[in-house]
Amino acid sequence: GESVGLHLPTLSVQEGDNSIINCAYSNSASDYFIWYKQESGKGPQFIIDIRSNMDKRQGQRVTVLLNKTVKHLSLQIAATQPGDSAVYFCAEANSNSGYALNFGKGTSLLVT
Amino acid sequence: NAGVTQTPKFQVLKTGQSMTLQCAQDMNHNSMYWYRQDPGMGLRLIYYSASEGTTDKGEVPNGYNVSRLNKREFSLRLESAAPSQTSVYFCASSYRDTTNEQFFGPGTRLTVL
């Protein structure tokens, strides 16, 4: 079946460095992508989303890049802070399935 | 504005017992969802309700039932709990129009012995 996966299960970065978290998807019909942050013991928290008609979107210290050609999504966090330590999930959706989110397994980001 | 609230926060059941997880949202969202999250895994959709009065199965519906009581409340019931249902359960809600930014509750940690 279709899947959303992450290249690396864990990522360790130093405070102040930029972080890049990658995500691959396989459903060519996906037209909406979203990143969530989940801190230990809490529910997922929305970070940023992007539609398939865009290739880049910026938020506060975060940028999402979408490459539809290779079905790849990335989340860039600038000047990573200790408070950014969490698990990050990408999810995809499409209008055919009523925008039901399909979550990947997550990448654990550790800021030292 | 409390967002999405869930009760209880923790629950321990014995195999075969039943229980209902409660969820409520005060954001006037149309759609509500129940997910489960197992250790080291992403979220898997159990059931969802696109609008008041409708419910649909997600990826892992077996062993669960849901009720969309009104626009605010969406409950998840385990009729006969099994150890495989040990998990953290999250409720979420959204407007679900041309995007689907979902807002999540704090979760219920369920252990079935």
**B-chain residues within 8 Å CB-CB of A42?**
106-107
- Residue B98: phi, psi to the nearest 5? -100, 0
Select from B6, B15, B32, B29 the least CA-distant residue to B88: B6
Residue B75 has a pLDDT of 97
Token pair of B112 as six digits: 């079935």
Select from A4, A24, A8 the least CA-distant residue to A100: A4
Bridge-based pairing state of the strands A19-25 and A10-13:
unpaired
Cβ-nearest to B105 among A43, A49, A99: A43
pLDDT tens, residue by residue, B70-98: 999 999 999 999 999 999 999 999 986 65
User: What's at B17, amino acid-wise?
Assistant: Q
pLDDT tens, residue by residue, B7-66: 999 999 999 999 999 999 999 999 999 999 998 778 999 999 988 889 999 989 999 999
Cβ-nearest to B42 among A32, A49, A105: A105
